Amino acid sequence: MKEFDLIARYFSRPAPDGFLGVGDDCALLPLTPGLQLAVSTDLLVEGVHFLPDTDPRALGHKALAVNLSDLAAMGARPLACVLSLSLPRVNADWLQAFSCGFYALADRTGCPLVGGDTTRSLTGIVINVTVLGEVDPARALRRASAQIGDDIWVTGTLGAAHIALSLLQHRLPADKALLEATRPALDTPDPPLQFAQTLAGVAHAALDISDGLVQDLGHILRASKCGAELHYDALPLARGLSDLAPGVQRDAVLRGGDVYQLCFTAPVGLRARILELARGAGTHVSRIGRIQAETGLRIKDADGADIVVPQGGFDHFA
Ligand code: ADP
Ligand code: MG
């Protein structure tokens, strides 16, 4: 199959009215006056970000989901996306499944695929997605906006993707039921886009958890020049994790990456409002701690004793 046949067959679904999509030198997008463009890009490399035998439909979903997660973290609304693919060979079944997974999420989230690039790879598969979104700059959820006294919240649950990856890489003893319970979080993350847009102008600071709660919350704390206390017992443990050894569970919940849920801070007076917004969007939220003036992160168990965790989370060059 030639390059242009491949694009025509798998990546040329029509763009919505008012957009110029795949087929010209650039895509053209209608913009809402008064809003700013939110742009984010993520690279997925075979062997680094996904295992070589990953289900291609799930991979298509995930390639877009990890980017939509960044839009969610800013409180932005998706506008469109572009997809660049570098492939060692043309595998029709792989392309069919990958593009179906990608388009299914693009359709569901109103984020049309409007362009990209396709090349041959001399190594493994490389996937790059760039998302474009819109947000009111006065309402965007920045990392530097946490205020002393804010509640700290997270959406969804923590730890499942980390446990699924540990099982797949044989770093934990085989456990079929646990893998079944945790694998969807790793393969098909579902960032809370709708809820995130309602948080814009309501929450103070936010980011998406990609490299682990402790490391990612650390970005908010440094950017906002403050510290925090977390209550371990308030952290939303993913299904199936409660029977794990305490050390394994803590590592998954506090340091596990690939979460693609939000961590955000908001004034104490907005608790009821946030619960109402979450209910309206069908998103699960948990209040997990408090922003404090003293820098650094303190994690407390149910008795108020300190839980010590090694610093850091995932780092490509560590
Ligand atoms: P150029 O030579 O300008 O890079 P291409 O010939 O690579 O353009 O691409 C032709 C059209 O197909 C362009 O509109 C481009 O955006 C689109 N395209 C190429 N690869 C992809 C892809 N993987 N997904 C979506 N659109 C693609
Ligand atoms: Mg090209």
Ligand 1 center from residue 107 Cα (angstroms): 20
- Helices 176-187, 56-74: axis angle to 10 degrees equals 60
Residue 215: helix, strand or coil by DSSP? Answer: helix
- Strand pairing class (206-208; 113-120): unpaired
Residues 6+ apart with CB under 8 A from 153: 203, 262, 263, 264, 265, 266, 274, 285, 286, 287, 288
Burial (CB count within 10 angstroms: exposed 0-12, middle 13-18, buried 19+), residue 26 = exposed
Nearest to 78 by CA among 197, 203, 200: 197
What is the atom index within ligand 1 of the atom nearest the CA of 24? 14
Closest C-alpha residue for ligand 1 atom 11? 23
Which atom of ligand 1 lies closest to the CA of 21? 14
Pocket lined around ligand 1, Cβ cut-off 6 Å: 7, 11, 22-25, 83, 85, 113, 115-118
Which residue has the least CA distance to atom 21 on ligand 1?
Answer: 116
DSSP assigned state of 61: H
SS3 72: helix
Ligand 1, pocket-test mutation among 25, 117, 121, most atoms within 8 A of CB: 117
Strands 77-87 and 113-120: parallel
Whole-structure pTM value: 0.95
List per-block mean pLDDT (blocks of 10 residues) for the chain, which spans 318 residues: 92 97 97 98 95 95 98 98 97 97 98 97 97 98 98 98 97 97 97 98 97 97 98 97 95 97 98 98 98 97 90 69
Spacing, Cα 117 to ligand 1 middle (Å): 4
DSSP string, 169-218: TTSS---HHHHHHHHHHHHS----HHHHHHHTTTSSBEEE-SS-HHHHHH
**Beta-carbon neighbours within 5 Å of ion ligand 2:** 117
Question: Is 229 strand, coil or helix?
Answer: strand
Cα(6) to centroid of ligand 1, in Å?
A: 10
Nearest ligand atom owner, CA of 25: 1
DSSP state of 252: I
Helix (H) or strand (E) holding 136: none
The ligand with the least distance to the CA atom of 3 is 1
Q: How far apart are CA 240 and CA 279, in angstroms?
A: 24
Report the number of secondary-structure helices (H) and strands (E) in the chain.
Answer: 9, 10
Give the DSSP letter of residue 304: S
C-alpha span between 156 and 161 (Å, rounded) = 12
Residue 250, CA distances (Å) to 176, 185, 240, 256, 269 in order: 21, 17, 14, 9, 30
Contact status, residue 103 vs residue 113, Cβ threshold 8 Å: yes
Beta bridge partner(s), residue 88: none
Q: Which bound ligand lies closest to the C-alpha atom of 60?
A: 1
